[in-house]
Amino acid sequence: MATGERRSAGQRGDGDDARLIAAVRRKDIGAFEELYRSYYTRLTRFLLRLVNRPQLVEEVLNDTMMVVWEKADSFNGASKLSTWIFAIAYRKAMKALRKQDEPIADDAIAERVSADPTPEESFSHGRQRSLLLKAMSELSPDHRAVIDFTYFQEMGYREIASIMECPIDTVKTRMFHARRHLKKRMAGGLPDWL
């Protein structure tokens, strides 16, 4: 993710996030709306890839931001605000998936994710992108999350482990298995993607 997109899509500077969360703690609705808008695109993309069910995305996103509004005082600054918000989104998504019956692959997910491409995605070819998204949709939610956090959200293993509430070695193992699966599905093109 390029720095320019990161700023526009919501991963703002630490000072901006600190200002916004402080205002949200005071129940400043305007600051909350700004925070919501700044994280909306990144969270939506992450949730689309994670849950693989477009009909759940808005619900999980709203549940996530409701926790941010109601529990803003619980953010203690031990991590970045984005880490805290993505951890909430991850837990809400996993809870929503557990409530569902059997996972259903939704072919529309590739279209919805690619409808609003990032600058990095704009150079990619439609066929390769479709193959990648299809291969990712075949992964378990935990494996999709590790891939998404690493390559789309540009997070390190320590931050991912914090979000997923698991040891760093578990993150590394999930990454190994996810990449192995993607390598099988992406004939010869994996190094270009990962």
Residue 110 has pLDDT above 60, yes or no: no
Whether the pLDDT of residue 102 is over 80: the answer is no
pTM score, two decimals? 0.68
| pLDDT tens-digit series, residues 14-38 | 678 999 999 999 999 999 999 999 9
Contact by Cβ (8 Å): 47, 85: no
Percent of the chain with pLDDT over 70: 74
* The pLDDT value given to residue 57: 92
Q: Give pLDDT tens digits for 27-86.
A: 999 999 999 999 999 999 999 988 888 888 999 999 999 999 999 999 998 899 999 999
Q: Is the pLDDT of residue 158 over 50?
A: yes
How confident is the model at residue 40, as a pLDDT?
94
Query: Which domain range does residue 29 map to?
Result: 3-193
- What is the pLDDT confidence band of residue 5, given thresholds at 50, 70 and 90? very low
CA atoms within 13 A on the CB side of 12: 16
**Residue 42 to residues 12, 45, 85, 143, 163, Cα–Cα distance (Å):** 12, 5, 11, 18, 15
pLDDT score recorded for residue 82? 93
Is 138 buried (19+), middle (13-18) or exposed (0-12) by CB count in 10 A?
A: middle
Q: Which residue has the tokens 């919805």?
A: 112
Say yes or no to pLDDT of 190 above 70. no
Based on the structure, what is the number of domains in the chain? 1
Q: How far apart are CA 158 and CA 46, in angstroms?
A: 18
Report the Cα 153 to chain-centroid distance in Å: 7
126 Cα distance to chain centroid: 21
